Structure 1
Amino acid sequence: MSLVRRIGRKIVRIKVLLCLFAAILAVPGWSAEGAPALAASAPVCGRGDHGLLKGLQEKRMNADGSSLSFNDIQFLGAAIGRAAGNGFMIGTSDAGCTFQTIYEGQWSFRDIDFPDNVYGWALASVQEGQLVYLIRTTDGGSHWKRLSAGPVSFRKIQFTDRRHGFAYDWAFAYYTADGGASWSKIPTPSNTRGAVFTSRSSGWAVTVAPGTGYRVMKTVDGGTNWALKLKSAFSYPVGAEIYEGGSQVWALLYGESGMSQTSYSLYASADGGGKWRRVIAQSTAGGGPAPGSGNEGLAKGPVSGKPGNMQLAGGGAFLLGYSPAGDQVGVGRSYTGGKQWRNLPGLPGAGGVISFTGAKEGWLAVRGLEQSSLYATHDGGSTWERKLFFKTK
């Protein structure tokens, strides 16, 4: 074989080896040494907002000298959520690692509700005004349109999809099938103090029988007929909330308030309203005896304070409590339909709101005297990590 042919064959072999070597290097997860390559380190989710809140706060201070504060939060899952307040809305899509400004403007949000990540509704006032309007967004919250010609009496809204939803004041419930453009009143029992509907046909109401007590009622025909589910022999007819999730039903009965205290009782049913237990019966010096009757539950709720909002998620029940005088905000919870209840350690604050998306994952917005903070939990509220905050002074 000639020298030229031998050199040519060696060159071909070298080219083949180089191609094979390049192919190996191109396989994901392999290094030049033939060992699995280390993937690029995932960014660590740290604290802070990268200057977002400082910028928002500086704009507000320069505009009118006021400070910002969280009024409501809602998370659609562990990663996606929004927090809103007086003239702003921020959001995250990575479980709070980073937040972005969604809205800045005239609307001061009081209650927000997003059935998905695009369509949303809110009860809001213009700046710090007292009148409340129903507004809607179709782009995730960047732009809002007023739906009501004038102010509304609604205190809470709840949408199941882009067209269907419910609204409530203390006495009545309302239903819409056109995205909030028009509303029809749902028949509720006389002396209703709070109601909730999970569909157009199925709903609950808490009523007061004057001089007798509270009643928890259920309808399965859209309010035409109501059946008694719980009777309590003692009542202060102030107000009530009712929550339903799966087979769990919880009734929160408010008593009187005074000296920054509110007396209340919390009842739970784990079988759709068949049997009830009194979980909390908190009497206070300023608010008097706990409303309702039955076997006494725990004498104190979370942080021994006023009841805030409640969430049913992942089989768990979570109640916010806050004590303005004690400067404490905390959560109580049950994973057993009310058979066991645990009041968890509190955080500094004068008020707040919770949003839980599962048995362990949840968020807490706290309003304090000097700052307003947003916290996340991954253990059902036992511990909280502060994600960001506004200085309010």
Structure 2
Amino acid sequence: MKTIPLLLMMLWLNSSVLFGQAVPWYRINPNPIESSLNEIVNIPGSNRLMAVGSGATIMYSDNEGASWIISYKPAGISRMTNLNAIHFVNSDLGFVVGNHSTLLKTTNSGASWVDISPAGNMDFLDVYFMDEQTGFVTKYDTVMKTTDGGSTWVQTQLKTWRYYPKHLHFINDTTGFLGNTNGSYYFKTTDGGDSWDSTTIVTDTENISLSAIKFLDENIGIISGEIYNISYSYYLIFRTDDGGETWSEVYSHSFNSIKNIYFFDSLTGFTVGPRIMYDNMILKTDDGGITWHETTLSGYNWCNLNSLAFLPDGKGISIGSYGQIIKSTDWGENWNIGYQRVIDNSKINAATVVNQSAAFIATTTLAGGGVLSGCIYKTTDGGYSWSRLLNLWPFNSLVFVNSDFGVAASDAYGAVYKTTDGGNNWAEHEIDIYNFNPLYLCFINEQIGFVGGEDIIYKTTDGCETWETCLDNYVLNGIKDLTFSDDSTGFAVGYLPDMFLRTGDQGATWVTDTFDVSIFANKLYFINADTGFAIGNKILKTINGGDTWTEVPDGCEGSISFTDIDFPTNQVGYITASDNEETLLKTVDGGGNWAPIGLMETTSTPNALAFFSADEGLVMGDNSIIFKTYSGGMVDVPENQFTETNNFGITCYPNPVANKLIVDFIDVKPNWQLLEFYSVSGELVKKLITSESYSKVSIDVSDLKTGVYIVVSKSAHQINGVVKIVKL
């Protein structure tokens, strides 16, 4: 286990909190969340909609999706937990399941959660509780039942093969159903879940592969499935009105895949799922599933929609992959976008800063139908808005020598793309279209540059017009990164551990060398000719131009993979991390010591850095996350705003407050507001994003402990209001 032997470093980190510095991070993209959302429910007896998803996400809205309160890592579970399903017994009691055998429980409508997970490391797929004691959880090939609130479990293995049981529900105390068999049968229990029997549907359709199922009562049931063979495929809906004795086909389509079935009442129902190689489709029935029609979805919705739920007034929410949220106000006939993005849904692979407000990023776009593409984007306002410059391949590397001259590379095509006018125009320069996949770029000036990929490094001396091989061997088992510390000295790392290549003659010759400490290196970075870093599963530092390397403390526990590094000054630097609870590290002593600054609330992994100064910068990564800091990632709410008389921009009442707090926005509203609640010590304890222009919002603060809190209202890069409240 790694420890933190850096007392001075931690004193520096903590002093920023103790002395009241920082609203640490502004979420620029996406809003409100980047998680892949798996299921949404309307909590019985309330107007609260609650969704669960990847990155240990639980989020709820009390105002029809206008704003969301997000719980990050509820009950202290790992941020790498994927939450798959949610079920509420009544207005207070609810349960959530996910991978790593995760089972969470709430008794206060989701305001707080308790971890009651049983031992094990299985993917829990679905959950249904009849009351606080009796409930069910599904996992691979198995239904688990408890009658003592989760203290003990009885497992029933289902008689099938490679089965992931989903769509678990009961119509009474004894009769329940399971779907997603991918066969011509579903599972049914008539003894309260003690045993489950497979039931084959009787239909004229052969070779059916069944997925979602929903029974409305003992007689009426709806089930979806697919017929596939070499010549054609169809997606179908079947209905029974005799308890499953016979089934009739009521809908078929070549593209509308049906992943989930939802009924608000006995007549009004919906299905949701992707249109294969296209976008999504929501079907609606007004007669209990006898007939179905397509609804209208507007806007971009390439990524899968997974679930939906409605309130009694006909307002509904459908959620899906990569934070996708769409809304309806007319009982599902029409749907509109309910989330915000400043760039397309992407993985941000690389970033480079060209001046105090301008930067470029290279992305892989997560498009529909399994089609991968990519873009180059540019910001000129410090990251708040982005212009798409080039839309082509997935771009994984990007370098700018100055504000005008830049080069981008994609491993999907053996060429690079060059701009000489700040990204307005790009020219393709072929290297080896069929035999080379360029991965990493390094340019010394506008004429001399290098590109690496596989086990080859190419060099240009005429600004990308021509390329010549300067390394062609398999010593590293593939090139992962390359960089130059000055005009002559360069380094490369690959997939073999402990080894690197170096050149002292601008790439004419390369020699093999080894690190002094064992490392699986991902990236190299030099501050100057002498001082550099190798990052991977460790952080190594050299102060003599790569002749010797020493491991430096990183302050993290467990396995980790460091992915990007940036030094805006010689002393202040940042590193992104994956495969760990920590995602961002910082140094203030030139990289001699590092410590996590875990204040960025994200469910995805950052892997690209772009800092304009020691304190101002962008952290970006998977699922197109973009966060900005003006305080070096540290807490920064000035102490002189912590006064009762210094309220501006917003008003809060009642104050003191016990349960429901009304926040009234005084000034002109932007498209969204970010509300953050801080303790007087500077700790961020609650966060809410309003996704539409509302003059006031109601917030449940019953989960806050008794005490004094600071409410901060923000939009874009600006603080709009600060007010102190007292929680009773």
Instruction: Using structure 2 for the length normalisation, give the TM-score.
Output: 0.36
Amino acid corresponding to residue 202 of structure 1 in structure 2 = T
1:229, distance to aligned residue in structure 2 (A): 7.1
1:113, distance to aligned residue in structure 2 (A): 2.4
Q: Is the 1:314–1:357 Cα contact (8 Å) retained in structure 2?
A: no
* 1:100-159: CA deviation from partner (whole Å, max 9, x where unpaired): 23445624423222333433322234xxxxx45333344425344151212224321122
For the aligned residue pairs, the C-alpha RMSD in angstroms reads 4.0
* 1:21-52: CA deviation from partner (whole Å, max 9, x where unpaired): xxxxxxxxxxxxxxxxxxxxxxxxxxxxxxxx
Q: 2:174 aligns with which of 176, 201, 204?
A: 201
Report the CA distance shift for 1:119/1:267 in structure 2 as closer, same or farther (over 3 A). same
1:174, distance to aligned residue in structure 2 (A): 2.9
* 1:279-305: CA deviation from partner (whole Å, max 9, x where unpaired): 23xxxxxxxxxxxxxxxxx334xxx33
Amino acid corresponding to residue 39 of structure 2 in structure 1 = D
Q: 1:269 aligns with which of 201, 222, 240?
A: 240
Amino acid corresponding to residue 323 of structure 1 in structure 2 = R
Distance in 1 between the 2:282 and 2:262 partners? 11
Q: 2:309 aligns with which of 345, 352, 355?
A: 355
Distance in 1 between the 2:139 and 2:208 partners? 15
Distance in 2 between the 1:337 and 1:84 partners? 28
For 1:332-343, list aligned pairs within 5 A: 332-343=283-294
Instruction: Using structure 1 for the length normalisation, give the TM-score.
Output: 0.62
Q: Which residue of 1 aligns with 2:256?
A: 305
Whether 2:37 is the aligned partner of 1:70: answer yes
Q: Is the 2:37–2:320 Cα contact (8 Å) retained in structure 1?
A: yes
Whether 2:214 is the aligned partner of 1:243: answer yes
Q: 2:120 aligns with which of 147, 150, 166?
A: 150
Distance in 1 between the 2:68 and 2:196 partners? 47
Report the CA distance shift for 1:356/1:95 in structure 2 as closer, same or farther (over 3 A). closer
Instruction: Give the secondary-structure state (helix, strand or coil) at the position aligned to 2:258.
Output: strand
Q: Which residue of 2 aligns with 1:384?
A: 335
Report the CA distance shift for 1:191/1:109 in structure 2 as closer, same or farther (over 3 A). closer
Instruction: Give the secondary-structure state (helix, strand or coil) at the position aligned to 2:297.
Output: coil
Whether 2:295 is the aligned partner of 1:325: answer no
Q: Which residue of 2 aligns with 1:94?
A: 63
Q: Which residue of 2 aligns with 1:82?
A: 50
Amino acid corresponding to residue 67 of structure 2 in structure 1 = T
Structure 2, unmatched stretches of 5+, are 1-24, 346-623, 625-728
Distance in 2 between the 1:230 and 1:124 partners? 30
Q: 2:132 aligns with which of 136, 144, 162?
A: 162
1:364, distance to aligned residue in structure 2 (A): 0.6
1:318, distance to aligned residue in structure 2 (A): 0.9
1:351, distance to aligned residue in structure 2 (A): 0.7
1:67, distance to aligned residue in structure 2 (A): 4.8
Q: Is the 2:271–2:282 Cα contact (8 Å) retained in structure 1?
A: yes
For 1:361-372, list aligned pairs within 5 A: 361-367=315-321, 372=323
Report the CA distance shift for 1:305/1:339 in structure 2 as closer, same or farther (over 3 A). closer
Q: Is the 2:297–2:336 Cα contact (8 Å) retained in structure 1?
A: no
1:267, distance to aligned residue in structure 2 (A): 1.0
| Identity fraction in percent | 17
Kindly indicate whether structure 1 or structure 2 has the higher relative contact order, using CA contacts under 8 Å at least 6 residues apart.
Answer: 2
Q: Is the 1:136–1:147 Cα contact (8 Å) retained in structure 2?
A: no
Distance in 1 between the 2:103 and 2:229 partners? 29
Q: Is the 2:185–2:210 Cα contact (8 Å) retained in structure 1?
A: no
Report the CA distance shift for 1:187/1:69 in structure 2 as closer, same or farther (over 3 A). closer
Number of aligned residues: 301
Distance in 1 between the 2:112 and 2:310 partners? 24
Instruction: Give the secondary-structure state (helix, strand or coil) at the position aligned to 1:381.
Output: coil
Distance in 2 between the 1:172 and 1:72 partners? 21
1:203, distance to aligned residue in structure 2 (A): 2.6
Distance in 1 between the 2:61 and 2:84 partners? 19
For 1:11-90, list aligned pairs within 5 A: 55=26, 67-76=34-43, 79-85=47-53, 86-90=55-59
1:250, distance to aligned residue in structure 2 (A): 1.3
Distance in 2 between the 1:90 and 1:225 partners? 33
Distance in 2 between the 1:154 and 1:272 partners? 28
